[in-house]
Amino acid sequence: MQDEISVKPLVDILSLQLGEQVVMSGDSYVYMQGLLPVNQSDVDVALLEQKSLYLSDLRKSKSNEITQAFNNAVEAITSALPHEMVSWRNQEDEARAYIADSTTATPFIDSQVATRQLETKDELVAKIIANADAYQVAYASLLGKYQNLSNAISVATTVDELNLIVW
């Protein structure tokens, strides 16, 4: 384990725990004053503490990495028309209400049909619902992956386990 973790933080932890300056002398740790050897049990405790700190830092770094990857993936499915997103909920609500009752007022959709002149109201309603459903499936998939990886980060107990977690 000591090979995985640099010596400087370990020396700092030992010095803090023992209340005296500790240095490396060859392959051993010694107290600075009097050059007395440090007990192996103290080294073992310091190694465990250093490993815990390293895992905590790596866990935070992995979490940030996964969050950024999730945000990038969500942006990829929403950035094509960011201004249109403002109206997605309204479009979907009107479209679903229209499917349930074709006499329901749909001012937003009516305005789109009139100005776009690309399709009928029924065609636009079908397109809106298909797009809304596709977005929900894509977003749910990304969110599930994010939650799964976030959970894996929180339960990982080794550096190797954390390093295996990638978007």
In this prediction, residue 3 carries a pLDDT of 43
Query: What is the spatial distance between Cα 98 and Cα 106, in angstroms, rounded to a whole number?
Result: 7
pTM to 2 decimal places: 0.69
The Cα angle at residue 70 between residues 69 and 76, in degrees rounded to 5: 90
In this prediction, residue 32 carries a pLDDT of 59
Q: What's the mean pLDDT in 127-151?
A: 97
Structure confidence by residue, pLDDT tens digits, 103-120: 999 999 999 999 999 999
Other residues' Cβ atoms within 10 Å of the Cβ of residue 154 = 10
pLDDT band at 128 (very low <50, low <70, confident <90, very high): very high
In this prediction, residue 33 carries a pLDDT of 62
In this prediction, residue 34 carries a pLDDT of 62
% of the chain surpassing 70 pLDDT: 86
Structure confidence by residue, pLDDT tens digits, 157-166: 988 999 999 9
DSSP three-state, residue 150: helix
In this prediction, residue 1 carries a pLDDT of 40
In this prediction, residue 6 carries a pLDDT of 60
Structure confidence by residue, pLDDT tens digits, 1-38: 444 446 667 777 777 777 777 776 666 676 656 666 77
Query: What is the spatial distance between Cα 104 and Cα 68, in angstroms, rounded to a whole number?
Result: 41
The amino acid present at 54, given as its one-letter code, is Y
Query: What is the spatial distance between Cα 120 and Cα 35, in angstroms, rounded to a whole number?
Result: 89
Q: What burial class does residue 50 get, using C-beta atoms within 10 Å of its C-beta: 0-12 exposed, 13-18 middle, 19+ buried?
A: buried
Structure confidence by residue, pLDDT tens digits, 50-65: 778 889 999 999 999 9
User: H/E/C letters for each residue in 48-109?
Assistant: HHHHHHHHHHHHHHHHHHHHHHHHHHHHHHHCCCHHHHCCHHHHHHHHHHHHHCCCCCCHHH
Query: What is the spatial distance between Cα 14 and Cα 158, in angstroms, rounded to a whole number?
Result: 22
Q: What burial class does residue 40 get, using C-beta atoms within 10 Å of its C-beta: 0-12 exposed, 13-18 middle, 19+ buried?
A: exposed
Output the average pLDDT for the chain.
86
Query: What is the spatial distance between Cα 108 and Cα 91, in angstroms, rounded to a whole number?
Result: 7
